[in-house]
Amino acid sequence: MAKDPYQKSAKIYDRYVEPSIADLRQIGMRMLPPQEGMHVLDVGCGTGTTLKLYHEAGCRVFGIDLSPAMVEVAKKKLRDRAEIRQGDASKMAYPDGLFDLVIGFLTLHEMPSRIRPAVISEMARVMKPDGRILLIDHHPGPIRFPKGWIYRPITLFFEIMAGREHFSNYRDFLSRKGLPNLISNQNLMVVSKKIVGGGNIALFLVNSE
């Protein structure tokens, strides 16, 4: 297995990164409020914070992440309240049509361009026919003054600190027009969207056409 890029940062992620993205998670939850009994999958679940919130809202929660270090932290946080797997999101072992909601929270930009379409396709496959996919990720703009100009260097700092490969994938993601391009190419239909952070972050709620 390739070296885990989150081996060192997983244990400090909640302390140093989570405070800067907590509001985004709340915006996403308001776009499709969780309901008791919903089956929710978080693709790229990281340390499990999103899963924890949906579990507290009465959902049955599942997570998958490629990073063994992130999965270890998430399992300690959730224990038996979530089913969390370490694995490749482009080849998920879940059956078709299992989830009411599939979430991709700041995860697609981390992946090489060749992987993203397969991950989106898998997210659509495991979503129920009347389900939704919630995608939250970086957005190419236009960047609005002054908020966007303030937000962008903060984003760049975190992306650079994540490592050379991560930063390269982030730049590639933006150069390919981010989420709108991926959604369009996968024939998904936008139910609702929000652009926040002065144009730096996009939230899309989508389903199958």
Residue 119 has pLDDT above 60, yes or no: yes
- Domain span including residue 131: 10-208
- Alpha carbon separation from 95 to 92, 110, 122, 193 (Å, rounded): 8, 25, 10, 28
- Alpha carbon separation from 180 to 4, 47, 177, 188 (Å, rounded): 29, 27, 6, 10
Contact, 132 vs 206, CB < 8 A?
yes
Q: State how far the Cα of 186 lies from the Cα of 166, in Å rounded to an integer.
A: 23
Whichever domain contains 95, its CATH number is 3.40.50.150
- Inside any domain, residue 4: no
Tokens of 162: 């994540």
Residue 208 has pLDDT above 90, yes or no: no
Please report the pLDDT score of residue 197 as a whole number. 95
- Inside any domain, residue 3: no
Tell me: the pLDDT tens digits for 175-207? 999 999 999 999 899 999 999 999 999 999 999
Q: State how far the Cα of 79 lies from the Cα of 73, in Å rounded to an integer.
A: 10
Q: How many domains does one find in the chain?
A: 1
- Inside any domain, residue 5: no
- Inside any domain, residue 197: yes
Tell me: the pLDDT tens digits for 66-114? 999 999 999 999 999 999 999 999 999 999 999 999 999 999 999 999 9
Tell me: the pLDDT tens digits for 1-39? 568 888 888 889 899 889 989 999 999 999 999 999 999
- The arithmetic mean of pLDDT across residues 118-137, rounded, is 97
Residue 154 has pLDDT above 80, yes or no: yes
